[in-house]
Amino acid sequence: MSQFNIAWLPGDGVGVEVMEAAKICLDALKFDAKYTHGDIGWEFWCQEGESFPQRTIDLLKNSHAAMFGAITSKPVKDAEAELVPELKGKGLIYRSPIVRMRQMFDLYTCLRPCKAYAGNPLNYKEAIDMVVFRENTEDLYAGVEFSPVPDELKETLKKLSKPFGHFADIPGDEFAITCKVNTQKGCDRIIRAAFEYAKKFGYPKVTVIHKANVVRATEGMFLETGKRIAKEYPGIEMDDANVDAITMWMLKNPKNYGVMVATNLFGDIISDLAAQMVGGLGFGCSGNIGEKLAVFEPSHGSAPKYAGQYKVNPIATILAAKMMLDWLGETEKGARLEKAVAAVIAEGQVRTYDMGGSASTLDMGEAIARKL
């Protein structure tokens, strides 16, 4: 009997292909796991009106961890247009399955390490080592949205919010509202996770990223929480920066930053910037981590224009597999996998198109596997 039950969720587009490359590496490591395929993604939305079927939810409930490839997401009207005829007009609304998964299983930490491996021709600068902690279940991704805006909501906001008066006379079908929802619990646990990580791995500083000077209620709470929790970690410096300013400072002085923590949307943006600085989304791995389950994925999307070509770089997914191994306590295997990735990058003999080479997705996976 296998030691670990792993939910295997390729999704669609290039997700299927990069997951194949990751599996080659996991098999080469002789990782003792049972992999069970889970249905998720655009195909199931179009055919069933559900991109995250209950059968896949049940699979995750009985898994130690999951590997996730990528999925296609489209705006509401475009999504409805692609439903099979018998499902159209039934009020079905597409919601991102990965966002739903994060909320359903309380995967509150999105952990995104961004490391510049020696020899990568795409590195912005050498020796960059950033780790972004992104709150994963709240904020503007909470799904509390209104379009059109109901009259009763307009009336309530008119009574409670003076600034809303500017919008009060606009017809409800001519504007939309998305609510930014942040909780004290959500702020506490993501910031504490960042400080604990810095303490465990020897980072001297945690940078709290926010926009408290304008978004005073939610971002102000996030910043004040950071200041309070920092007092519990006297050996670790805390600094903070507005999200717009940090994009400049990261580019100017990337080695000044190690562990960074932000609310959901800002963390999403900052982590993509950090990934680009170490080679792009082909190198950006990600972990969605809760107390009982974690789901690991590349931070890139499904890239439909490349689907079926086995062209894209699978290193992000392979590094996500490394994160999964670490989370499961298989740290020796995780270290071997990262060392193999670093060796292939340093040698420069096998490079995918983004790195200036012609190797396929599976060529890269096999080259890394040969180092294991």
Out of 35, 141, 197, 257, pick the active-site residue: 141
Q: How far, in Å, CA of 91 to CA of 85, rounded? A: 13
Q: Is the peptide bond before 148 cis (omega within 30 degrees of 0)?
A: yes
Cα–Cα distance for residue pair 292/322, rounded to 1 Å: 18
Q: Provide the angle, in degrees to the nearest 10, between the axes of the packed helices 331-347 and 361-370.
A: 120
Within 10 A of 90 (CB to CB), how many other CB atoms are there? 9
Return the residue matching tokens 């300013």.
245
Q: Could you give the C-alpha distances from 14 to 178, 271, 368, in angstroms and in order?
A: 30, 21, 19
List the catalytic residue out of 115, 154, 211, 322.
211
Q: How far apart are CA 344 and CA 74, in angstroms?
A: 36
Residue 58: Cβ-neighbour burial (10 angstroms; 0-12, 13-18, 19+): exposed
For the question of residue 326 being annotated catalytic, the response is: no
Residue from 190, 191, 241 nearest 213 by CA = 241
- The active-site residue, picked from 268, 311, 322, 326, is 268
Number of H helices, E strands in the chain: 13, 12
Q: Among this protein's residues, is 211 annotated catalytic?
A: yes
How many Å apart are CA 222 and CA 209, to the nearest integer?
Answer: 9
DSSP state of 237: E
CA atoms of 277 and 299, how far apart (whole Å): 14
CA distances from 304 to 70, 82, 220, 308, 315 (A): 10, 15, 39, 9, 18
If phi > 0 it is left, if psi is from -120 to 50 it is alpha, else beta; for residue 11 that is left
Catalytic residues: 141, 211, 244, 268
